[in-house]
Structure 1
Amino acid sequence: MNASMPRQLSVLEYLKRQLDGTLGSDDQTHMRYPTAISGLLGFRIVEIGEAVAIVEMDADAALHGNQQGTVHGGMLCELADAAIGTAHSTLMARGQSFASLDLKATFLRPVWQSRLRAHARAVHRGRTITHYQCDIQREDGKIVASVASAVMTLSGEQAEGR
């Protein structure tokens, strides 16, 4: 391999190397990491595997709050969606992309200020549609929200430009 040529890695391999600090300056993958929204909101990937991801953020109602003074449910949905999308991206080959079909959140308890961890995992992997479950925990280990989502894999012309 020519030293000046970028090395193309699968998304899973790219993220694993990113996490363990072995990602080379010439290593690339076909998807964008870190994502723009994750950078803006301060999301961090802390664990990765095939169809599995843990993403965390430091939530504070002073910055992410709603009118009741707790962390906004939309922020929790965005965190879950990021974890689910990260988990699903580990299944994507070159020329594939994906789109969320739905997202259902159940809010269990409030958050004022806490490091939150979103644990996303595939519960059913189909050829086109994969179903995910994502639980978001506070620092004390209590689950604050449970999110279910279906994601559709796109290939060929459907994936172009996405």
Structure 2
Amino acid sequence: MSNREETVAQWQAQDKAVRAKLAAPGVASLEQLKQYSGVEFLQAILRGELPIPPIAQTLDFNLIEAEFGRVVFQGTPAMQHYNPIGSVHGGYFCTLLDSALGCAVQSALAKGSGYTTLELKVNLIRALTDKTGPVRAIGKVIQVGGRVGVAEANIVDAEGKIYAHATTTCLVFPLP
């Protein structure tokens, strides 16, 4: 078995284990959000204690890992994600990256804080197709302060090849 095949098998096993724990799609209440720090909130989703966001079901991707300052989302591009010119739509890239970027910022927030994306910059480096296999959007915090959070993310395949790079600036605010 090649390194790529081993990595794909590991990624698929991790995805299967995470999916087995996930709750039904939905949106957490403001009261639920206030109960957790950002990383605790994301980990509660991974444990199945809080609903997964509906967009994850729509585009068939999942949060796979969440720790302070770093998150990983995984999806497998398929024909359902194609645009009319024969490759995966840029919106798929952007959604995976925005999820990884925003949640990386969220992972560094204290209890009682929220965020929203102010700016998203995406560089699509190469096409995704239904033959690419699983990909991961890996988001990492650059800096999170009292008002602004900045993060970066890459979409990579099982060989570590980069398909897209993105950065974000998020507004950080106290939850009402």
| TM-score, normalisation: structure 1 | 0.76
1:10: Cα distance to partner? 3.3
* Conserved? CA contact 2:153–2:166, under 8 Å: yes
Q: Which residue of 1 aligns with 2:39?
A: 12
CA distance 1:132–1:16, change in 2 (3 Å): same
The separation in 1 between residues aligned to 2:53 and 2:86, in whole angstroms, is 28
- In 2, distance between residues paired with 1:58 and 1:66? 15
| Greater gyration radius | 1
Other structure's SS at 1:82 match: helix
Aligned residue number for residue 136 of structure 1: 155
Structure 1 segment 4-153 matched on structure 2, within 5 A: 8-16=35-43, 19=46, 33-60=51-78, 62-113=79-130, 114-153=133-172
Name the CA distance, whole Å, in 1 between partners of 2:156 and 2:95.
14
Give the letter aligned to residue 40 of structure 2: E
What are the Cα deviations for residues 56-98 of structure 1, in whole angstroms up to 9, with x where unaligned?
A: 11111x1101122111111100100111122222233443221
- Decide whether the 8 Å contact of 1:51 with 1:122 is kept in 2: yes
> Residue type of the partner of 2:67?
G
The Cα offsets for residues 92-114 of structure 1, whole Å up to 9 and x where unpaired, read as 34432211011111111111122
In the alignment, structure 2 segments of 5+ residues that lack a partner are 1-31
Describe the superposition over 1:104-145 as per-residue Cα deviations: whole angstroms up to 9, x where unpaired.
111111111221100100112232111111000123321000
Distance in 2, Cα, partners of 1:126 & 1:93: 10
Question: How far apart, in 1, do the equivalents of 2:41 and 2:160 lie?
Answer: 29
Q: Indicate the percent of aligned positions where both proteins have the same amino acid.
A: 26
Number of matched residues? 141
More strand by share: 1
CA offsets per residue over residues 11-33 of structure 1, 9 Å max, x none?
423433654x5x6xxx56xxxx4
Q: Give the 3-state SS of the residue equivalent to 2:99 in structure 1.
A: helix
Larger helix percent: 2
User: In angstroms, what is the RMSD of aligned CA positions?
Assistant: 2.2
Please tell me whether the aligned partners of residues 105 and 144 of structure 2 are also in contact (alpha carbons under 8 angstroms): no
* TM-aligned CA distance change 1:18 to 1:102, over 3 Å: closer
Segments of 4+ in structure 1 off by > 4 A? none
